[in-house]
Structure 1
Amino acid sequence: MFNETVLKIRALERGDTGVYGARIKLQPALVEDQSFNLSVYESVPSPRTRSQLLASTLEWCNLTLQCQGSGKGAVNVTWQGDHVLRGDLGTGRHQLSPDGTTLRVALPPTAANVTYTCTVSNPADHKVALFDLQTICQSGG
């Protein structure tokens, strides 16, 4: 907008999403029309999580981690852990489900001292859940 004018809107609700127009009178002879595309998002609730130990031997710890968003509207689920980002989780000792909510991990016990992070987010908010693999592998889930 001209002259870095600010428009503030308070007490928004999800039903307020839409396109809004404004006619701004800057000088007696200068009028500017602006359109604003407003999207209203709710806060993201804490993720629903679950871990399941599939097998634990002296050589391997195989487990499944689940992380799901809830509430209204779409949320993204991303994973990070042990220098592994979501884009690298589909190969080797990590298998990511197509919807991104379930991660299967197979690690030797010497590498199980790792924390995996699940983040659920929308454009306005994010929440994080942590999975301590060593605790899961030793306790049985």
Structure 2
Amino acid sequence: MKHVALLFLVSLFVLCRAQEPLECREQAVSADSVLQLLPEKPPQGWTKVEWRVRLDGERFHRILTAEKSKVASSSKGLFFGRAVFQQETVSLWIRPVSTADSGVYRAEFEDTLGIVTVLCFRVSVWEPVRQPHVDARILHWEQGLCNLLLVCTVAGASNVSYNWSCTGGPPGALEHQPWLHLQVHRDADPTVCCCNASNPVSWSTASTDVVAACRAAAPGVPWSYCRVKGLLCLLVLGSLVAAVAVTHVLDRLWGPPSRGAPSSSGAG
């Protein structure tokens, strides 16, 4: 009777543990790389471990089963030929991985008494962030201030975080958004603003000179020194050519200057 009661208590304990919500360890990995699932504290007396996965809310599917000091047996499925069990570290390696491999992974350890201990991993696979592009859009000018909007875009990206930084101190509110509104004075020093786009596994940056963008689109932008100097030279040259032309025309109209008439002698 005591043995039956003990067995009932053990079964009840195992059932209660199985119904407890698992706390899964979050793990992010880059696509086309190696996913390493390493249990931090595997049970000391485990004799068998079974790795399972649940993708897109489906039921759990077996990846492989391994026993101590024995070769692991893999199932013929999505991970066939990609999943390898490491006996030394009791870890599961999957290579290469794609975004479709994101899901919940479980390692179910069983000991000699048949008690199962479950360790959980919540895996997210991310594509590396591509080079972003920063577009400077001039909104309007007001009392010598250039109001512009910087827009940072990453082609084919989703769930990307943005962070802005500008040299010489922030000329506006730095937002954690793909856009940044700024006010820049026309005579300000060169200011470079950088957009940092990132996800849990990678990051990439792009930058632009906001002062140069404002000056290029400023109304009534003064000409450069070289252009002004060239214009003055052309004006002086044109004046000289005009003066020579006028002198030549006047010479032809009036003829050569008179040298005086011969004196007449009286008869007598």
TM normalised by structure 2 equals 0.41
CA distance, structure 2, for counterparts of residue 2 and residue 63 of structure 1: 54
Higher relative contact order (CA 8 A, sep 6+): 1
Number of positions where the alignment pairs a residue of Structure 1 with one of Structure 2: 131
Which structure has greater helix proportion? 2
C-alpha offsets along residues 77-107 of structure 1, whole Å, 9 cap, x if unaligned?
22111333xxxxxxxx63678x822222112
Aligned amino acid, residue 123 of structure 1: P
Which structure has greater strand proportion? 1
The residue that corresponds to 1:94 in the other structure is: 172
Superposition pairs of residues 61-140 of structure 1, within 5 angstroms: 61-82=146-167, 83-84=169-170, 94=172, 100-140=177-217
Aligned amino acid, residue 11 of structure 1: P
Match of 1:42 among 127, 131, 137: 127
Conservation of the 8 A alpha-carbon contact between 2:164 and 2:196:
yes
CA distance, structure 1, for counterparts of residue 109 and residue 191 of structure 2: 55
Unpaired runs of 5+ residues, structure 2, are 1-39, 43-88, 219-268
CA distance, structure 2, for counterparts of residue 53 and residue 117 of structure 1: 17
Q: Tell me the CA shift for residue 138 of structure 1.
A: 2.4
Unpaired runs of 5+ residues, structure 1, are 85-92
The residue that corresponds to 2:30 in the other structure is: none
Aligned amino acid, residue 145 of structure 2: W
C-alpha RMSD over aligned residues: 3.4
The residue that corresponds to 1:11 in the other structure is: 96
Greater displacement, 68-77 / 34-43: 68-77
Structure 1 stretches of 4+ with a deviation exceeding 6 A read none
Match of 1:2 among 34, 41, 45: 41
Conservation of the 8 A alpha-carbon contact between 2:186 and 2:215:
no
Greater displacement, 43-52 / 114-123: 43-52
Greater Rg by CA: 2
CA distance, structure 2, for counterparts of residue 130 and residue 111 of structure 1: 18
